[in-house]
A and B are shown apart, each in its own frame.
Chain A
Amino acid sequence: MKEIVIISLLGIVVLALDVLKMRKLVLPTILLGLVGLVGVSIADWGHNETPFAQYGGMLTFDNTALAFTIAFATIAFLWFVLAGDSYTSGSSDRTDIFALVLFSLCGAVVLSAYTNLVMLFLGVEILSIPVYVLAASNRKNVLSNEAGFKYFFLGSLASAVLLFGISLTYGAVGSFNLQAIQEHLAGGYYSPLVLIGTALMLIGFSFKISVAPFHFWAPDVYQGAPTPVTAYMSTIVKGAAFAGMFKLFGSALLPLPEAFTTAMALMIGITLIASNLTAVVQSDTKRMLAFSSISHAGFMLGFVLTASTTSPKYLIYYTLTYSIASLIAFFVIQHVAAIQNEDASTDAFKGLIKRSPVMAVSMTVALLSMAGIPPLSGFLAKYYVISSMIANEHMTLVIIMILTSAIGAFYYLRVIAAIFTPIDNAGRIMISDRMRRSLAVLSVLLVVLFFAASLLELI
């Protein structure tokens, strides 16, 4: 509970600072608050191990929830550091955007700790509504407006579907509480109401995490939204939706009827094939990364599919490593595109190694990590998915994952090849010292997380 109070207060304080004309303090306050959030989460570690018990059965900050919270707070911290440069310091737009991100982050924390379907729905809404606004925050840009609209309409449709599913489940079980639902289903009997409810919840989540066949909104929204917002969507929003989904399908709804595992397996297969094949033909890197993000959602859905035997810590690891790589990639794209009339095509990256070695190297590291090359943590993340798929004997999916990983390497390497292609008259791209340092730290993190993977076993 403390976690949610902190994060909500932080958002309000930030808005107050803006009113009080102390805009210079906004970013330091946020960073300090997020450090505090991590600190409180660590202090709570191990104290709340009884599941389904706290706050009237609404929220439980057990270790998994705390680990998710820490991961989201860390990613948010990194996002704020990188996004600090993206908005004019001292403008009130900046404060608004930052406050919206904080409120959305609050939803992410709720989603990782909910133990009640009402909180699940609230979490999804708190997470999404600020992002609808953020997607359209580049008010004078048509594409950004389109992205906001699209995201809003499809997102609210998904929320409605999710809510309908929740209400049907409630109708059958008579309770919103996850524990009650679990006990109700423990016998293995799924009444028609629960069946339909589960199906609808699955569809609702599939929209949020953007897996096929509910992914069509994602490329347009990712491409149209301002790049920092895209970075936020592909990291925390996606990760939080997965946290919520994992808890629902990994504990409350067990044992899942076979129809659902089959459906999920099919969705993973279609997602991986469709997104990777489409990514190959993209010339715009931002759009390519949108498809790559869908592909990673396919991988992450593998954890949900095997949730009954897989620990959520591997999902957290995947979220964290993918998010770090994603942050690097999107912010590098933003800075590269900014000086070339918003051209984010692969050609715009030509000669980047000369024009900005730090961005070039960190982008390379990020892309290689996404491709799953050791010794970068993206490899271990993929390894955990494939490992759990093999343990659950989804061999067809494993083969698809391998084939699509090779395809993935193809489009990531195309950008890397462009980065290292020399060009004439290469002007240097100037970035701030803070940006340079943060990119370096993030790249190193991708290596460190690989070697320090045993930390994960603490969860």
Chain B
Amino acid sequence: MLTLILLAIPLFAAALSMVAGAKNARTLALGAGILELIVTLAAFFVNGKEGSEALLTFNREWIGPLGISYAFSLDGISLVMALLVALLLPIIIYASFNRTFKHPQYFYGLMLLMAASMMGAFTTTDGLLFYVFYEFALIPIYFMILHWSEHPDKAKITLKFFIYTLFGSLFMLVSLLYLYNISGSFNMQALYEAGRSLSGSEQGWVFAGFFIAFAVKIPVFPFHSWQPSTYDSAPTAGTMLLAGIMLKMAAYGMVRIVVPALPEGVSEYGTWALALSAISVLYASGMAIAQQRYKLLIAWSSIAHLGVLSAGILSGNAQGIQGGIMEMLSHGILSVALFFVYDIIESRLHHDDMRKMGGIREVNPLFAFLFFTIVMGSVALPLTSGFVGEFLLLLGFYQVSPWLTAVAGLTVVLGAVYMLRAFQSMMLGSASPAMHSFAPLNNHEKTVLTILVVLVIVLGIYPDPILSVANPSVESLLQGLNR
């Protein structure tokens, strides 16, 4: 029941927003976002209590004879993912209040529509429905970039983005259908059984289909080339949605489908995927170091972090997956924070060239302090949320391949290099005359940044609520796999 409400709130609000007109669009969207958060927290609260089953799951036939149903369930993993959406959605909406958009009713409507589809992907237990939500999330963000980006090449960039991800996810469709052809049903459990009944090499092929889809979306080297330009050209709220939530659908797909359904495929053929992930980390870190523009640096650093994420999950053990879930949440918060910092800087300086900045700390110490905390989270310093996730991920990865872990572990070192360098060149030093006019943070910006910083620290010090909710589900997911 609650799952349906979680889906209905943003859908309904999106429709309402498009009808109600420009005037109250953003207030309406924010209200919907907060409501979504409250319902998600309620779901957290009832989780594990007696009789919560009926509240947290929903199952109705859609195309009966084909074994496709409207099936949703909020188990531990889905709960954390739902929290990711419901937590970030109001923050992203509120963060966008410092800008005015043309046609805000459609802008926020599309945002809510996207939230709905991501929420659906994270909570459904039907393979085909997962595909539908996964794919549909593309439409709102496509139009958000196409209509609200100011980039001169936006038509080209969005086209590349769309074709790339569509192309990837079609491979997932084939893999799903291959499993379905054996199981006769799209129910996740049936898909798991079908997958496990396959021979090793068959599992390898099915795994390849899923991996291409997810590797394009996450993105993993060499499927990443759509990402930096798309992040760069999207309006900040769109970038936040993309980096903060949308990419997690792919990582979640690995957790939910690939690891439990294709154990042999992952263990025998996953080495390639792990190696690609490790390369991805190195390459993206190198690219991040080479960037002179802050937004592109964040885009590349995102690829580096997510390389570790996909490697950890594909190690297929409990630590790797727990770490993955934690990291998805943490990376979501951090990337929203990092892109919000971009937004603050861009709104004042109208550029994000780090060479032309410097000494902002002198002018605006509060901003520098908050930014510094976020940077610390991003380089996975202990006591920040980034640490918990990446530590567990690397721990999981280590059990499968110590050597590759050593490579992927460089992300922490290299991450420190580019993040601290960026911080140094933007914030430290003496302020040039151009920086003197750097306006202090207004209340709105202070609120958003403070909330994000508090989340980064709280989750770093006390990650237990998240991990303890996810744990039972992770264990039941891995049950029957000999790991």
| A contact set with B: CB distance below 8 Å | 368, 371, 373-375, 379, 383, 386-387, 390-391, 398-399, 402-403, 405-406, 409-410, 413-414, 417, 420-421, 451, 453-454, 456-457
Top-6 shortest CB links A-B:
A406-B167, A374-B132, A402-B170, A417-B155, A454-B63, A390-B177
Known A-B contacts: A403-B167, A409-B166, A456-B63. Give 13 more (CB < 8 A): A371-B166, A386-B173, A387-B180, A390-B181, A398-B174, A399-B174, A402-B167, A405-B166, A406-B163, A410-B163, A417-B146, A417-B159, A453-B62
Whether, in the assembled complex, B147 has its beta carbon less than 8 Å from a beta carbon of chain A, the answer is yes
Whether, in the assembled complex, B162 has its beta carbon less than 8 Å from a beta carbon of chain A, the answer is yes
Instruction: Tell me the minimal C-beta distance from A257 to chain B in angstroms.
Output: 25
Residues of B within 8 A of A374 (CB): 131-132, 135-136
Residues of A within 8 A of B158 (CB): 413, 417
Residues of B within 8 A of A456 (CB): 63
Taking a contact as CB atoms closer than 8 A, the residue among B64, B143, B174 that contacts A420 in the complex is B143
- Would you list 19 pairs from A and B whose C-beta atoms are within 8 A, ordered by A residue? A368-B139, A373-B136, A373-B166, A374-B132, A375-B132, A390-B174, A390-B178, A402-B170, A403-B167, A405-B166, A406-B166, A409-B162, A410-B159, A413-B163, A417-B158, A420-B143, A420-B147, A453-B62, A457-B65
Taking a contact as CB atoms closer than 8 A, the residue among A373, A414, A417 that contacts B139 in the complex is A373
Instruction: Tell me the minimal C-beta distance from A363 to chain B in angstroms.
Output: 14
**B177 to A387, Cβ gap below 8 A?**
yes
Whether, in the assembled complex, B171 has its beta carbon less than 8 Å from a beta carbon of chain A, the answer is yes
Given contacts A402-B170, A406-B170, A457-B65, A386 and B136 within 8 Å (CB-CB) = no
Given contacts A375-B132, A390-B181, A420-B143, A413 and B61 within 8 Å (CB-CB) = no
Instruction: Tell me the minimal C-beta distance from A430 to chain B in angstroms.
Output: 22
Whether, in the assembled complex, B138 has its beta carbon less than 8 Å from a beta carbon of chain A, the answer is yes
Residues of B within 8 A of A421 (CB): 155
Residues of A within 8 A of B173 (CB): 383, 386, 402
Taking a contact as CB atoms closer than 8 A, the residue among A379, A398, A413, A454 that contacts B62 in the complex is A454
Residues of A within 8 A of B174 (CB): 386, 390, 398-399, 402
**B146 to A420, Cβ gap below 8 A?**
yes
Instruction: Tell me the minimal C-beta distance from B36 to chain A in angstroms.
Output: 20
The chain B residue sitting closest to A353, CB to CB, is B147
Residues of B within 8 A of A454 (CB): 61-64
Secondary structure at chain A's binding surface: helix, strand, loop or mixed? Answer: helix
Within 8 A of A (CB), among B147-178: 147, 155, 158-159, 162-163, 166-167, 170-171, 173-174, 177-178
**A373 to B170, Cβ gap below 8 A?**
no
The chain A residue sitting closest to B180, CB to CB, is A387
Residues of A within 8 A of B162 (CB): 409, 413
Q: State A405–B162 Cα separation when bound (angstroms).
A: 12
Interface string of B22-54 (1 = CB under 8 A from A): 000000000000000000000000000000000
| B contact set with A: CB distance below 8 Å | 61-65, 128, 131-132, 135-136, 138-139, 143, 146-147, 155, 158-159, 162-163, 166-167, 170-171, 173-174, 177-178, 180-181
Given contacts A409-B166, A410-B163, A373 and B138 within 8 Å (CB-CB) = yes
**A453 to B138, Cβ gap below 8 A?**
no
Residues of B within 8 A of A391 (CB): 181
Q: State A390–B179 Cα separation when bound (angstroms).
A: 10
Residues of B within 8 A of A402 (CB): 167, 170-171, 173-174
Instruction: Tell me the minimal C-beta distance from B135 to chain A in angstroms.
Output: 5
Q: State A18–B136 Cα separation when bound (angstroms).
A: 49
Q: State A383–B170 Cα separation when bound (angstroms).
A: 10
* Interface hub of B136, B170, B177, B180 (most chain A Cβ within 10 A): B170
Residues of A within 8 A of B177 (CB): 383, 386-387, 390
Q: State A417–B170 Cα separation when bound (angstroms).
A: 22
Q: State A456–B139 Cα separation when bound (angstroms).
A: 27
**B64 to A457, Cβ gap below 8 A?**
yes
Residues of B within 8 A of A406 (CB): 163, 166-167, 170
The chain B residue sitting closest to A405, CB to CB, is B170
**B136 to A375, Cβ gap below 8 A?**
yes
The chain B residue sitting closest to A419, CB to CB, is B146
Q: State A399–B208 Cα separation when bound (angstroms).
A: 13
Residues of A within 8 A of B63 (CB): 453-454, 456-457
Q: State A371–B171 Cα separation when bound (angstroms).
A: 15
Q: State A191–B338 Cα separation when bound (angstroms).
A: 74
**A414 to B147, Cβ gap below 8 A?**
no
Q: State A410–B165 Cα separation when bound (angstroms).
A: 12
The chain A residue sitting closest to B143, CB to CB, is A420
Residues of B within 8 A of A417 (CB): 146, 155, 158-159
The chain A residue sitting closest to B174, CB to CB, is A398
Instruction: Tell me the minimal C-beta distance from B103 to chain A in angstroms.
Output: 10
Residues of B within 8 A of A373 (CB): 135-136, 138-139, 166
Residues of B within 8 A of A390 (CB): 174, 177-178, 181
Q: State A379–B131 Cα separation when bound (angstroms).
A: 11
Instruction: Tell me the minimal C-beta distance from A414 to chain B in angstroms.
Output: 7
The chain A residue sitting closest to B162, CB to CB, is A413
Q: State A368–B178 Cα separation when bound (angstroms).
A: 25
Instruction: Tell me the minimal C-beta distance from A276 to chain B in angstroms.
Output: 12
**A414 to B159, Cβ gap below 8 A?**
yes
Residues of B within 8 A of A451 (CB): 62
